[in-house]
Amino acid sequence: MSRGWIWPICAVVISVAVVGWYVAAGGRDYKPSADPNPCVPRHWAETHGASDVLQQITLSALYGAACKLHVNQYDLALAFTSQDRLSEFGREHNVTQDQLDSAVQAGIGKAITDAQHSGRISTLEAFGLQALVSALPTDRIIGYVQDALRSGA
């Protein structure tokens, strides 16, 4: 046998061995992880500064709104990036403006609850924030969420 064939044969043997090892280790059964359930309470990551807090509030609020609407939180996050996308999302998912307003309020409520359960705010602060949010018009809250998403939260 010629020496020119040794390296290609070695490469084939090694490739077959790697594929065999992958299959033996359960590689055929791999499934991507499912999206997290938006209805489960979110434990906030460690926050350092206003930007981190805004990010955690935005994520918790999106999860809460997605839970209320029974939709994927990532699809909802994309919808909030512009008014046109939000309108399109409403049409595609048969979500009325009233349902969206209710979901936004529920999402902000979830964000406040998540912050409280994560030890970032006290019960008194949570109560005050709930009162403040309930007094704000929903379109203003949606504008804040859109601004946060645009700024990279």
pLDDT tens readout for residues 108-151: 888 888 888 888 888 898 888 888 888 878 777 777 777 776 76
What's the pLDDT score for residue 81?
Answer: 85
> Is residue 69 scored above 70 in pLDDT?
yes
pLDDT in tens, 70-80: 999 889 989 98
Torsion of CA 131, 99, 138, 120, to 10 degrees: 50
What's the pLDDT score for residue 30?
Answer: 66
Total structural domains within the chain = 2
Instruction: Give the residue numbers spanning the domain of 103.
Output: 50-150
Taking phi first (over 0 means left), then psi (-120 to 50 degrees means alpha), and beta for anything else, what does residue 97 get? Answer: alpha
> Is residue 153 scored above 60 in pLDDT?
no
Residue 109 lies in a domain: yes
Residue 74 lies in a domain: yes
Residue 64 lies in a domain: yes
| Token pair for 18 | 């790697």
